[in-house]
Chain A
Amino acid sequence: MAQASDSIRFILNDTEIALSDVAPTATLLDFLRLERRLTGTKEGCAEGDCGACTVLVGRLAIDSKDGESLVYETVNACIRFVGSMNATHVVTVEHLAGSDGTLHPVQQAMVDFHGSQCGFCTPGIVMSLYALWLTNDNPSRAAIEKALQGNLCRCTGYEPILRAAEAAAKERPAVVFDPITRTREAVAARLKALRQSETIIVRKEEDCLIVPADTAGLATALADYPTATIVAGATDVGLWVTKQMRSLNPVVFINAIPELQRIESSKTGLAIGAGVSYTAAFEALASAYPSFGRLLDRLGGEQVRNMGTIGGNIANGSPIGDSPPPLIALGATVSLRSKDGTRSLPLENFFIAYGKQDRRPGEFVESIFVPALAEDDRFAAYKVTKRRDEDISALLGAFRISLEADRVKTARIAFGGMAATPKRAKAVEAALMRQPWTEDTVRIAQAAFETDFQPISDWRATGAYRMLAAKNLLMRFFLESMGEKAQIERFEDVA
């Protein structure tokens, strides 16, 4: 296999790093804390949920004009692997204050508004607010809440942190003060230079990590190592390492492959590359399917949305993944590629059984195609959780229905959390077909959920609750189609 490099190279604050003996499962957090002694970044949970380890990662991203721009996003350093950092700029809390110790406006506001108590979550919160500060000089309270969806604070009750974020947004001292603004152009040039043109392979003892430069390289790597673990955002695989202590070898990182980052919109629908993060996919999905957008707002925290990908959510096959049910309801297809070629299949057929997907050795998910909604299609996706944000679904229902002369012409309904795989509610669909779109029809169709699903009880919900809520989501869908207010919206002022 041709390779341009045997090291991972990136910029950490203002230092260039080159690592040629890094293990495939080495985390960014351990690298920062143990090797670089940058102890401002904390470990709170080691699973990407608390945000104490939040850092910013700058990367060259395809922008809307198909050009490139340097974007900075929050990520959870605890589950991000060092092997995935090539050609990025990692910014930690230590980088924010001026060299004379003067605090950044975001930090100063947190002090002035009493935004810290025990202080342990604070560096992570500062970084999340900093990411917001960089892009928004007049954030609404909802926007601040959203920026903080991936940060837990156990002391303050958040109110002072929101006040700090509002105050900081207005503080725009000389640009030169902000470390990212100050170095943006130089960093972008450096990252361009660090970008790989061919596959990187790094070995450490028996272990090996592979970073292909393109899909052809990826296909070759998987042909050479059919059992390799493919890692995109690591928001799930990260936990295999930090929690299950699994040894993964080799690991193929696909987060930097440009071809997998593409979103193509046409009249027929959206093609989304498997490496597109939730954040990157948001705009396209939310404008084509507004309810999908509201769902994405509640998927993980901002850090997880910046890292995690829709492709990974699918390839992973979790019965509680948030994107498969709406994608199935929308009739999406998945394209799989290997060295031998490409094939595509309806997404619902991809999920065979719990933990078993129709992905052959050497194959990878390349893209997902989501058909456009027809003029008269009604579509909604509803997520039900214990805590509104950053929680794994107890159940998730997605509905796509079209009517003809007030009767149901087509119905595609899919649920997560109700079976061992994301699954269509075919009995419910059948009960609706050709029936008048009325409350009576909905009531009859509700009973059909018992045919489609026998949900389990676990810590997220009992089977009884899942069943009842699933039936009620159909009612919610109906009532909303009739213009009734049938759910509580938290983010009404977020575009």
Chain B
Amino acid sequence: MDKSAFEEPTTITGPMHNELRHDSAHKHVAGTADYIDDMPEPAGTLHGALGLTDRAHAEIVDMDLSAVAALPGVVSVLTAKDMPHSNDISPTHLHDEPVLAEGRVQFHGQPAFAVIAETRDIARRAARLAKITYRDLPHMIDVADAMAGGGELVTPPLTLQRGDAEAELKRAPRRLKGKMRIGGQEHFYLEGHIALAIPGEDDEVTVWVSTQHPSEIQHMVAQVLGVPSNAVTVNVRRMGGGFGGKETQGNQFAALAAVAARKLRRAVKFRPDRDDDMVATGKRHDFLVDYDVGFDDEGQILAVQATYAARCGFSADLSGPVTDRALFHADNAYFYPHVKLTSQPLKTNTVSNTAFRGFGGPQGMVGCERIIEEVAYALGKDPLEIRKLNFYGDKDSDRNVTPYHQKIEDNIIRRIVEELEASAEYQARRTAIVEFNRSSRVIRKGIALTPVKFGISFTLTHLNQAGALVHVYNDGSVHLNHGGTEMGQGLYTKVAQVLADSFQIDIGRVKITATTTGKVPNTSATAASSGSDLNGMAAFDAARQIKARLVAFAVERWQTTPENVTFVPNHVKIGEEFVPFAEFIGQAYAARVQLSAAGFYKTPKIHWDRAAGRGTPFYYFAYGAAVSEVSIDTLTGEYLVDRVDVLHDVGRSLNPAIDIGQVEGGFVQGMGWLTTEELWWDEKGRLRTHAPSTYKIPLASDRPKIFNVRLAEWSENAEKTIGRSKAVGEPPLMLPISVLEALSMAVASIADYRECPRLDTPATPERVLMAVERLRGR
């Protein structure tokens, strides 16, 4: 034994709370990080393409695919009838979402067949040769159409109610009604959907797919093929972005690849072109919010009644929980003494909308902040003043119950907002801006401070579970696997930090491995910001089990007590002796200690009764606030975000570098949603913004010119989460509501701030200019 064994080891690399870089960063920049299309293809791999329909709503009278099949290089053409067992991939099991349209087309671009060919190019060319005869049916494209057409819903609505909103609205000294349109959003993950299916023995198939939800892919592929789940293995090492767009939307590609692979006994890859990806997969829901607010002369809100109507598309997909979450955030950080909120998940002849970072919460919150603005402009006050007046109270207050009857026990919004207000010099800047606007003819400025309170947990309680599989090999190296997926958010890095911390070993000893249904079963989607909360805890649990066995082994071998065995940096301390970790593991192996464990975690405390609209759907809340300053050009409506200051709460950060990246990235993505990203369907129901040439996500030059992002370093999760951290994926997306409101203020300056501009989203230059025009002369 070397002498160092008795010296106190100091630290490890990569424990929790460290600013560790992304585990794949080196590979990202070198071009060596493999995405599915980069993997070497098995010999004889075939390529698929979707055959898209071009009617919004129609019966398929005839589908002549002879020219498709006849193109040299085409191997097979699949239609609904070729699905071996089931043509259904509805994630909610409502049987409303076919793999391939059968008999009826329900949105423009719905796939009705698939071509399998020797090359991707041939498959794409062949897919355009179909002759489909339709009998057109009336179609409904947006919320207004759907309401006019009778308001058919894709899934049951939700009502949240507390007190008597109707009566209090009548009684309130002041009352305002309005409507707000909130646009949808395309995910625009840089890596489009992709699936590669490789047939195996018997009924087996292995699918590599860019998905946030491997278990669901597994179940859907099994269902379509008519095989048990144990025949299907789904793998994903990393995605080139997900943002919710790969929670359910990969099902179609995986199912088709698997069906073709089983049928043809060859590997089959589906990689849709960007246009097909954008046309044929779901997006963020757009909403029409109808609100009615009662308040007093100070701006204290007395009652709110609101309906959140959403364009859901032709099927339910995740529209139920998405529209639910809109209601869960229709209060944002404010106490409504009397409230009634209703969702209206409307059926339309458009692609079925789906999960997108925030999952309905952002739309709920944007509607809420519009109400605050309305109250402020009606009273001639700074919206921030109205906000402060209406914040939820703290734990012991009588103003801490949400519309869903959950008590808020961890409220820190007041401290966040007040610290930010001071550090960003909000008041002085606002005064200066009002002064500037007085003398500036064309350019006007605006500033706004908006808060975020976001509930963390899947609202479908049973999804709040996770598994991890940890092996310690006899050389002391550690293999980590868990049910979470890596889409850039740094989940793999954070969970590896948990293991490094648990075993007190350098993170370099931990090998992070691709997510696979073969190692950790029955996982939930990596969604709802829950990735590190759930998987971090599951990995922690696996490490705990292995460590317990190791301690028992040490107690026996060294004849000591458990208190005398501790894991210290890269060593195990037994009594006064420091045994290097690898050496210790080697001995444990020789003593036949089981060095592998499956960890498990389920979130405590939460429950939710949807029918009653009551419960504790959220384990805790994440908070944040942002101040944004903008300039607008009142001749064209063009604008610039001059400065943004953010203070955001991630509890005790597992990795501040990664968390700041999530805050900055979420902010810019949310800003894009509220400003330049516009989805546009024509009268035929065709999506005409189906590529980056027509759909404009933010560029480097759109990001705030000055961008100060800080984490609330004093914050610690009140609940016992992993390292007392908080989820970070979704909450920052809502911080740029401050950009929208700052634009609104700049517009309002035209009429001396006497009128709420009612700026809808996305607040494109056109919407800004048209709002300016509305206010001119008032």
Contacts and interface: CB of A to CB of B under 8 A. Distances in A.
Interface of A: 33, 37-47, 49-50, 52, 92-94, 96-97, 101, 103, 107-108, 110-112, 114-123, 126, 141, 144-146, 148-149, 151-162, 242-243, 245, 382, 384-392, 394, 458-462, 464-465, 468-469, 472-473, 475-476, 479, 484-488, 490
Interface string B59-77: 0000000000000000000
Nearest to A148: B700
B692 A469 contact: no
A97 to B, nearest CB: 5
Contact of A386 (B128, B239, B678): B678
Contacts of A103: 26, 29-30
Nearest to B20: A114
Nearest to B676: A387
Given A44-B190, A114-B657, A159 B31 contact: no
B191 A118 contact: yes
B691 A47 contact: yes
B35 A384 contact: no
B696 A387 contact: yes
B680 A44 contact: no
A485 B442 contact: yes
B766 A465 contact: yes
B25 A45 contact: no
Contacts of A384: 636, 638, 765
A281 to B, nearest CB: 21
Contacts of B35: 42, 120
A488 B633 contact: yes
B406 interface: no
Contacts of A52: 190
Contacts of A469: 635-637, 769
A158 B668 CA distance: 8
Interface string B654-680: 000110110011111100000010101
A38 B192 CA distance: 19
Interface in B417-449: 440-443
A50 B190 contact: yes
Contact of A157 (B635, B636, B667): B667
Contacts of B188: 152, 154
B694 A114 contact: no
A153 B190 contact: yes
B399 interface: no
B10 interface: no
B751 interface: no
B692 A160 contact: no
B697 A154 contact: yes
Task: In the A-B complex, list the 5 residue pairs whose CB atoms are closest, starting with the nearest.
Answer: A40-B31, A118-B488, A120-B240, A119-B28, A157-B668
B631 A118 contact: no
Given A40-B30, A154-B243, A486-B635, 11 more contacts: A38-B31, A47-B691, A117-B489, A121-B240, A151-B700, A154-B669, A156-B664, A157-B668, A387-B676, A459-B694, A487-B633
Contacts of A97: 30
A486 B637 contact: no
Contacts of A158: 668, 698-700, 703
B577 interface: no
Contacts of B667: 157
A152 B699 contact: yes
Interface in B709-737: 709
A473 B29 CA distance: 43
A460 B688 CA distance: 10
A471 to B, nearest CB: 9
Contacts of B488: 116-120, 155
A44 B699 CA distance: 15
Contacts of B676: 386-387
Contacts of B564: none
A114 B697 contact: no
B238 A119 contact: yes
Contacts of B29: 93, 103, 107-108, 110-111, 115-116, 122-123, 126
B441 A459 contact: no
B38 interface: yes
Nearest to A106: B29
B559 interface: no
A460 B764 CA distance: 10
B260 to A, nearest CB: 20
A114 B698 contact: no
A148 B680 CA distance: 26
If over half of B's interface residues share one DSSP class (helix, strand or loop), that class is named, otherwise mixed; here it is: loop
B443 A488 contact: yes
A8 B26 CA distance: 34
Given A145-B700, A386-B678, A386-B764, A490 B769 contact: no
A118 B189 contact: yes
Given A122-B29, A157-B667, A117 B700 contact: no
Interface string B268-292: 0000011100000000000000000
Nearest to A101: B30
Contacts of B693: 45, 47, 49, 392
23 contacts: A33-B37, A42-B35, A92-B31, A103-B30, A107-B29, A110-B28, A110-B29, A111-B25, A119-B22, A119-B488, A120-B189, A123-B29, A154-B189, A155-B241, A157-B668, A392-B693, A394-B766, A461-B766, A465-B637, A476-B635, A484-B441, A484-B442, A485-B440
B689 interface: yes
B708 to A, nearest CB: 10
Contact of B635 (A39, A44, A107, A487): A487
B37 to A, nearest CB: 7
Contacts of A245: 124-125, 128
B658 to A, nearest CB: 7
Contacts of B661: 114, 117, 155-156, 160
B490 interface: yes
Contact of A388 (B191, B238, B441, B702): B702
B636 A458 contact: no
Contact of B190 (A92, A110, A118, A388): A118
Given A39-B34, A103-B26, A155 B665 contact: yes
A320 to B, nearest CB: 11
Contacts of A154: 187-190, 241, 243, 665, 669, 697
A203 B239 CA distance: 39
B741 to A, nearest CB: 19
Interface in B315-368: none
Contacts of B694: 392, 459-460
